[in-house]
């Protein structure tokens, strides 16, 4: 199904159906954007109540990496299950259930912050990741309402909304935390999520009618869908390329805050503003540049060019010329990697039919979270040794993805659909 037919028989434009989903995804990432930035100065501070007294910088970096890893690592488990279940039961009921779990999890985050209990905070982040299906279902809704040719553009719009969240989250959360402490921003997110849950429950319209005759699938079988990233021979190279770019880009976006704090000794207000600037440029890449390129540039070629530029920008962050220059080159990397995200996801989506979009894009979203978990944990561990090491590693990983895309995926392969394995 390439567009959603209304009861009147009129075909609604994709953007009109996708706007509510974009809002939902944006709200979801608003909270995670605050985690990714506020937890850095909170954990790296020598006086942090969440870290054992006298802990070294290497120990604080390791604990920070583990804490930030829990959310995306839990999503690795949750995304393929919820993506596949949304294929079976429809997008709406799975979205409602995931929002309910996420809302409860944010309540636990507030309790963990108020009580200075790191274990409760970690548990809440894991629960939040397990219940968070907004990105996986969001990409599936995009697939429900668009055709393969225009899909990369609308996927880019979704990631641009995510970028807006990464602008607003750090700025608003950082300003609030600086004046009122770390708990209040997450308490506000709890209230916003509760309101979003009520709105979705009463007003969200289904974009995929479940097939009553389709075979039932258990949760264990849904989780097993993730194994197809290895067993599905026609798609596994596409999955691999996406995964490598996820590790490089998400790792870079998470660890650059540690780099700025460690090298330039930035305050919580300064680092959140700089991080928001990087998110803004990523949004420009998806919202302004990507739509201009769709239909004019082959997605495979665009993926290669943008990933190379992203790797170059990551390396140029290391130029010893001050925080402003580092953020400027980080903006170059952010624009390029954001375009790489959308083009490579669209390339994968174009390879399968509508009946597999939820499962395949759910798998790809799960790989994104796995890449983020690996990137943030590995990058934090390396940053404890030297803040330069993660940047070099992420640039090399991105270039490996380009090499695979250039040498192992032929242009003709990138334009045909495959059947279910």
> What is the residue range of 45's domain?
15-208+221-409
Confidence category of residue 128, pLDDT binned at 50, 70, 90: confident
pLDDT of residue 11: 45
Beta-bridge mates of residue 418: 352
Please tell me the least confidently modeled range out of 12-21, 57-66, 93-102, 210-219: 210-219
**3-class secondary structure, 418:** strand
Q: How many whole angstroms separate alpha carbon 12 and alpha carbon 6? A: 7
DSSP run (H or E) holding 266:
none
Domain assignment present for 61: yes
pLDDT at 10 over 70: no
Q: Does the residue 364 lie in any domain? A: yes
108: domain CATH number is 1.20.1250.20
List the end-to-end C-alpha distance of the chain, in Å, as a whole number. 21
9 lies in a domain?
A: no
Residues of the chain with pLDDT > 70, as a percent, come to 89
Residue 115 counted as domain residue:
yes
Q: Is the pLDDT of residue 7 over 60?
A: no
> Taking a C-beta distance cutoff of 8 angstroms, is the pair 245, 375 a contact?
no
How far is the C-alpha of 28 from the C-alpha of 110, rounded, in Å?
16
Q: Give whole-number Cα distances, 39 to 25, 271, 390, in Å.
A: 21, 11, 19
Q: Does residue 414 sit within a domain?
A: no
The least confident of 18-22, 80-84, 167-171 is 80-84
When pLDDT is averaged across residues 128-134 and rounded to a whole number, the result is 76
Enter the DSSP assignment of 216.
Answer: P
Residue 5 in any domain: the answer is: no
Q: State how many domains the chain has.
A: 1
Q: What is the mean pLDDT of the chain?
A: 82
Is residue 414 left, alpha or beta, with left meaning phi > 0 and alpha meaning psi from -120 to 50? alpha
Give the tens place of pLDDT for each residue, 147-195: 877 777 787 777 677 777 877 887 788 888 888 888 999 999 999 999 9
The proportion of the chain whose per-residue pLDDT surpasses 90, expressed as a percent, equals 25
Tell whether the torsion through CA atoms of 348, 354, 359 and 362 is positive or negative: positive
pLDDT at 337: 94
Mean pLDDT over 91-111 rounds to 90
For 338-379, the pLDDT digits (tens) are 899 889 988 998 888 777 776 787 788 778 878 888 988 888
Residue 4 lies in a domain: no
DSSP, residue by residue, 346-408: HHHHTTB-GGGHHHHHHHHHHHHHHHHHHHHHHHHHHHHH-THHHHHHHHHHHHHHHHHHHHH
| Domain assignment of residue 64, yes or no | yes
The confidence band for 12, taking pLDDT boundaries of 50, 70 and 90, is low
Q: What is the pTM of this model?
A: 0.71
Mean pLDDT of 107-114: 93
Higher-pLDDT residue of 310, 142: 310
pLDDT at residue 39, rounded to an integer: 87
Per-residue pLDDT of 245-302, as tens digits, reads 999 998 998 889 888 888 888 877 787 788 888 888 887 887 788 888 877 888 899 9
């Amino acid at each position: 199904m390439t567009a959603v037919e209304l009861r009147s028989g009129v075909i609604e434009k994709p953007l009109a159906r996708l706007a509510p989903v974009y809002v939902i995804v944006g709200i979801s990432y608003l909270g995670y954007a605050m985690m990714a930035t506020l937890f850095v100065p909170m954990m790296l501070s020598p006086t942090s109540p969440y870290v054992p007294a006298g802990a070294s910088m290497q120990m604080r970096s390791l604990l920070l990496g583990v804490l930030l890893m829990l959310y995306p690592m839990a999503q690795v488990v949750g995304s393929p299950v919820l993506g596949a279940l949304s294929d079976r039961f429809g997008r709406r009921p799975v979205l409602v259930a995931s929002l309910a779990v996420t809302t409860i999890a944010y309540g636990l985050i507030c309790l963990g912050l108020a009580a200075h209990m790191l274990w409760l905070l970690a548990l809440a982040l894991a629960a939040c990741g397990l219940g968070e299906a907004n990105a996986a279902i969001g990409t599936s809704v995009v697939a429900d309402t668009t055709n393969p040719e225009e899909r990369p553009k609308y996927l880019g719009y979704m990631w641009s909304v995510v970028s807006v969240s990464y602008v607003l989250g750090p700025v608003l959360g950082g300003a609030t935390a600086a004046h009122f402490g770390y708990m209040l921003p997450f308490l506000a997110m709890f209230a916003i999520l509760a309101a979003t849950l009520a709105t979705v429950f009463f007003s969200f319209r289904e974009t995929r009618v479940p097939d009553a005759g389709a075979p039932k699938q258990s949760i264990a079988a849904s989780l097993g869908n993730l194994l197809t990233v290895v067993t599905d021979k026609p798609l596994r190279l596409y999955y691999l390329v996406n995964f490598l770019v996820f590790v490089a880009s998400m790792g870079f976006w998470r660890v650059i805050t540690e780099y700025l704090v460690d090298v330039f000794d930035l305050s919580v207000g300064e680092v959140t503003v700089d991080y928001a600037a990087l998110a803004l440029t990523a949004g420009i890449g998806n919202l302004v540049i990507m739509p201009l390129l769709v239909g004019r540039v082959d997605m495979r070629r665009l993926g290669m060019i943008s990933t190379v530029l992203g790797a170059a920008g990551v390396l140029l962050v290391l130029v010893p010329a001050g925080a402003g220059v580092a953020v400027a080159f980080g903006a170059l990397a952010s624009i390029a990697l954001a375009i790489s995200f959308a083009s490579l996801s669209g390339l994968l989506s174009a390879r399968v039919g509508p009946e597999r979009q939820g499962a395949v894009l759910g798998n790809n979203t799960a790989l994104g979270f796995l890449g983020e978990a690996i990137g943030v944990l590995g990058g934090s561990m390396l940053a404890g040794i030297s803040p330069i090491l993660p940047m070099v590693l992420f640039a090399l990983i991105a270039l490996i993805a380009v090499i695979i895309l250039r040498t192992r995926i032929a242009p003709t392969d990138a334009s045909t659909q495959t059947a279910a394995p």
